[in-house]
Amino acid sequence: MIELTVPLGKRSYPIYIGSGLLNAKDLLSPYIAGNQVLVVSNVTVAPLYLESCLTAIQSSKKQLQIETLILPDGEEFKNLTTLNLIFDKLLSVRFDRSCTLVALGGGVIGDITGFAAASYQRGVNFIQIPTTLLAQVDSSVGGKTGVNHQLGKNMIGAFHQPRCVIADIDTLNTLEDRQLSAGIAEVIKYGLIRDNSFVDWLETHMPKLLGRDTEILAQAVERSCKYKSEIVAADELESGQRALLNFGHTFGHAIENGMGYGQWLHGEAVAAGMVMAADLSVRQGWLTKHDLERIRHLLESSKLPIRPPTELSPEKFLSLMSVDKKVKLGIINLVLLNAVGDAHVRNDYDQKMLTETLMNN
């Protein structure tokens, strides 16, 4: 088992990475506050892993009131209506502010359960047990929680750190191939914004990642979580460098919203968005064409899309991008590249070149 720490002073917490962690009876217990626990999962994950999770929770020496809530599966359900189902459950079973929420599932379950925990009685404890690669390397770490709105993705939410993150690599064996590739997009992102040598490593090990080699997957999750932990520790509330984690996301969120939540997986939209951000970087003269082709090839080898949907016009793209958390004073801030492994948040790009990128990808 690998253990990392997100260093946030009194709110620091561990990330556990390894195989068979859902069956580790003593791992969860120290992080369960109070004696009331609600496990939130979805209709896809619950039949696979809920029983193991409940067994691990029940192994605690405490006398616990354990409740479960199974939500529908999909990005299209990451909304205020579904969030209210969690509040309905918590109130109906009379959970107090010492309770613990456990998010068992992918990014949607983690985000919506975390937001419920941030909001219920003005904040209760929660634990992340991510079961997708995307959630293990990205959304479960850092305390970003929230839901989507029909006008914008993740526009309603809060920062609320979990007590711990337990990433069981074995849960990735039941992922669909498409979901695995979507998670790899976020892994690639870390290399592109922070570490060229990690991109080298990914180029070499991509066949084993796609083949679900346990050791290679664990290494990818560890390195991704390490990079994110460092960034979150330096800028928890995204006032500066944490915004680099949004590389490709402004374009990607526009794709997800424009096509209808759930039509494109988050990682697929981010993959196309990273190519668009790199393309704009080339047009500005900040990134070489060789680096752009390298990025395209790596994403293609990961079985990810490298072009946005043709259904979205440049005008529609710009309209959707303007409803984004990175917009400040009417200007869209974008994460762009100077080189592979060297990213910066910029708003000094040429608007005409952005339009060219939108027209030619």
Among this protein's residues, is 215 annotated catalytic? Answer: no
* Whole-angstrom distance, CA of residue 22 vs CA of residue 28: 9
CB atoms within 10 A of CB 168: 24
**Which entry of 163, 194, 223, 253 is annotated as an active-site residue?**
253
Among this protein's residues, is 249 annotated catalytic? Answer: yes
**Which entry of 222, 236, 238, 268 is annotated as an active-site residue?**
238
**Which entry of 78, 194, 223, 228 is annotated as an active-site residue?**
228
The dihedral over CA atoms of 41, 42, 46, 47, expressed in degrees to the nearest 10, equals 180
Among this protein's residues, is 67 annotated catalytic? Answer: no
Among this protein's residues, is 144 annotated catalytic? Answer: yes
The dihedral over CA atoms of 294, 296, 300, 304, expressed in degrees to the nearest 10, equals 140
Q: How far is CA 135 from the centre of its chain?
A: 5
**Which entry of 249, 283, 296, 325 is annotated as an active-site residue?**
249
**Which entry of 186, 236, 256, 268 is annotated as an active-site residue?**
186
> Could you say which DSSP state residue 23 is in?
G
What separation, in Å, do the N-terminal and C-terminal C-alpha atoms of the chain show? Answer: 42
**Which entry of 246, 268, 325, 333 is annotated as an active-site residue?**
246
* Whole-angstrom distance, CA of residue 339 vs CA of residue 361: 20
**Which entry of 10, 61, 94, 122 is annotated as an active-site residue?**
122
DSSP assignments along 25-70, one per residue? HHHHGGG--SSEEEEEEETTTHHHHHHHHHHHHHTSSS--EEEEEE
* Whole-angstrom distance, CA of residue 87 vs CA of residue 101: 11
Phi and psi at 200, nearest 5°, equal: -55, -45
Among this protein's residues, is 189 annotated catalytic? Answer: no
Among this protein's residues, is 122 annotated catalytic? Answer: yes
**Which entry of 78, 153, 223, 242 is annotated as an active-site residue?**
242
**Which entry of 160, 266, 283, 296 is annotated as an active-site residue?**
266
Tokens at residue 171, please? 């849960």
Of 99, 106, 174, which is closest to residue 138 (Cα–Cα)?
106
Among this protein's residues, is 186 annotated catalytic? Answer: yes
Who's near 5: CB < 8 A, 6+ residues apart? 12, 13, 14, 15, 229
Among this protein's residues, is 246 annotated catalytic? Answer: yes
Question: From residue 224, how far is each of 162, 188, 202, 284 by CA, in Å?
Answer: 18, 9, 12, 29
* Whole-angstrom distance, CA of residue 304 vs CA of residue 192: 16
**Which entry of 78, 144, 160, 189 is annotated as an active-site residue?**
144
User: Catalytic positions, please?
Assistant: 122, 144, 186, 228, 238, 242, 246, 249, 253, 266
